[in-house]
A and B are shown apart, each in its own frame.
Chain A
Amino acid sequence: MSSINEINEPDVFVVADNILSPLGKTTAENFAKLRENISGIKQHTNVAISPLPFFASLFDKDEQFVQADEHNYTKFEQLLIASIADALNGSGVDVRDKKTVLVISSTKGNISLLENEAITDELKERISLSTSAKLVAEHFGFQNQPIVVSNACISGVLGVITAARLLRSNQYESAVVAGADVISKFIMSGFESFKALSSGPCKPFDKEHDGLNLGEGAGTIILSTNHKYAQNIKVKGGSVSNDANHISGPSRTGQELAGAIMNALAEANFTANDIDFISAHGTATVYNDEMEANAIAISEFQKVPLNSLKGFYGHTLGAAGLIESIISIQSLKQALVIPTIGFTEAADPEKVKVCAAPTRLKANNFLKTASGFGGCNAAVIFGK
């Protein structure tokens, strides 16, 4: 490592955040629901999404997220705009400053538009994530071209890591990182075809975990190197890896996620002892949970309290890494780790210490992990 670079590298602070989910429109509303153990997941009957009833965390049909206007924003764009607007409110970050950049993370964005129309050049343009990013950027008046991360289920965490790197290398002073995904038939049918969905509410890390639930939502984290935020929580380190094993199944060993965790720790100048709790990916598929438990054990975090928030939100895809990081930032602030709803008895008790009940914990730092199709893994550390 080059020590000169490290001396010149600014810290990256969390300025503000927002969660927009079926549980609430602000981070505070969401955290309050989680404290009361209220989940957004319920059974839905909606043949436009799936021929059979299914469990998921979805917004009410036809819910509007921004005032109707001439722009005809899609639901995906509305979610991003509403989430970013709330996070920006009172943050002191100027989006019109050339030193501020917008980072958008999503897996499928406006893909539902494909479901009702034949493809034309116009529709192709409308579906493009670049179009959505441009519309959102223009809505707020960002001056720089937005950055769009689309890297399966690590998109949200990768958005944070990408932004933190841009700030550390002084390319920008502030970054607004926002992620969202909308659940439609396209995504639901795909997960069904993979037999990845649970027939009931999901059970992360539980002996009886049998699949995931999908969820809708958006999350925004605003980051800055400006010293006026020096008392805030920081992004301490982050890393990404690939399993080089299989495009739709995770690593057999968990070694590669463990590698990303190790590199994130190294960037934070931490040892394993510095991590007070873990917000896992915890999708509740047997493959994911086993791989993740292996990676946690390799990293010697067997005794570190861990949760998965998928039982509250379902898998919110490109938003997951953001939403789950934001809840964990609240856990740091309020010294309260949220339990893993749906979990009762551990599938891998010797590898992971899953929080089954709200846990009072004076924590300084947490680790957030994510993994996804294509064999990708990401780890990010936030701390005081």
Chain B
Amino acid sequence: MLTEKYITGFCSIDNGIVAKDGVTIFEHQSNLPGLLLAAYQYLQLAYPKFYKMDNLSKLGWLAAEFLLKDTFNKDEYQPEETGVLLANTNSSLDDDIKYWDSIKEVASPSLFVYTLPNIVIGEICIRNHFKGEQAFYIQPEFDTQFIAQQVDYLLDKNIMQACICGWVDVFEQDYKAVLFLVEKKKTEKAVVFSAKRMNEIFNKA
């Protein structure tokens, strides 16, 4: 028997708008660093690590914060039971260019560490104490069918009990993040998890 799986929440950051479950919760039209800072301030958190992150990590980290805020009950899962599977098209190229510029003077280890796309997963895991499965894939466009297969495998086989999956992409002023929380429980707003449903939500964002 395959397990019933639901999208119990989703969050997008795109075009200056932060939306959760399709509802705009915050809007700030400026350049990307301005948006990221304003979104962070909106959350009223004290998390100094945020300021050290590159834009890709900030974007993905913020999307996860808005996604999980108020609705995700961490106590329902062991740290090892939540996985994070993400994809994008530009890898870490936004930070790669900044790192390469830095080496003309002195190579910056704090920029170099972000020259890997999976660091954003590390930042989300550190913040939320997630110790489960994780993977970062590079795709020309968000391949919802592939991501859904991977999530299905992990949840159907009870390797994970919950997964955050989605798309986090940044290059210069172009950006888009859409994250989905997939769980085995049916909540009030939950919709059945599928590639098709992820696609619909992704394209509306």
Contact = CB atoms under 8 A, between A and B. Distances in A.
Q: Do A and B truly interact? A: yes
Interface of A: 1-2, 4-5, 107-108, 111, 114-115, 119, 124, 127-130, 133-134, 145, 147-152, 158, 162, 165-166, 168-169, 171, 185-186, 189-190, 192-194, 239-248, 256, 259, 263, 372-376
A229 to B, nearest CB: 22
Given A190-B109, A190-B115, A192-B107, A149 B136 contact: yes
Contacts of A248: 109, 113
Contacts of B122: 242-243, 247, 373-376
A181 to B, nearest CB: 12
A240 B150 CA distance: 13
Interface in B100-155: 100, 103, 106-109, 112-113, 115-119, 121-123, 125-126, 128-140, 143, 146, 149-150, 152-153
A242 B113 contact: no
B99 interface: yes
A197 to B, nearest CB: 12
Given A130-B89, A147-B146, A242-B132, 17 more contacts: A1-B157, A5-B156, A148-B138, A150-B116, A150-B118, A151-B117, A152-B116, A162-B150, A186-B99, A193-B109, A194-B112, A241-B134, A242-B125, A242-B134, A248-B109, A248-B113, A376-B118
A162 B89 CA distance: 19
B4 interface: no
A113 to B, nearest CB: 11
A169 B91 contact: no
Nearest to B134: A242
Contacts of B112: 189-190, 193-194
B1 interface: yes
A144 B91 CA distance: 21
A337 B159 CA distance: 32
A172 B108 CA distance: 43
Contacts of B117: 150-151
Contacts of B157: 1-2, 5
Given A241-B133, A373-B122, A375-B122, A247 B113 contact: yes
B159 A239 contact: yes
Q: Sort chain B's interface into a size bin.
A: 35 or more
6 contacts: A148-B137, A162-B150, A169-B149, A240-B133, A242-B121, A244-B79
Interface of B: 1, 79-80, 84, 89-91, 93, 96-97, 99-100, 103, 106-109, 112-113, 115-119, 121-123, 125-126, 128-140, 143, 146, 149-150, 152-153, 156-159, 171
A359 B109 CA distance: 39
Contacts of A165: 150, 153
Nearest to A251: B131
Closest 9 CB pairs of A and B: A374-B122, A190-B112, A193-B107, A148-B138, A242-B125, A193-B109, A244-B125, A189-B107, A129-B138
Given A108-B115, A115-B100, A244-B131, A150 B137 contact: yes
A193 B116 contact: no
A242 B156 contact: no
Contacts of B80: 241, 259
B116 A242 contact: no
A133 B99 CA distance: 24
Contacts of B136: 149-151
B1 A2 contact: yes
A128 B118 contact: no
A240 B99 contact: no
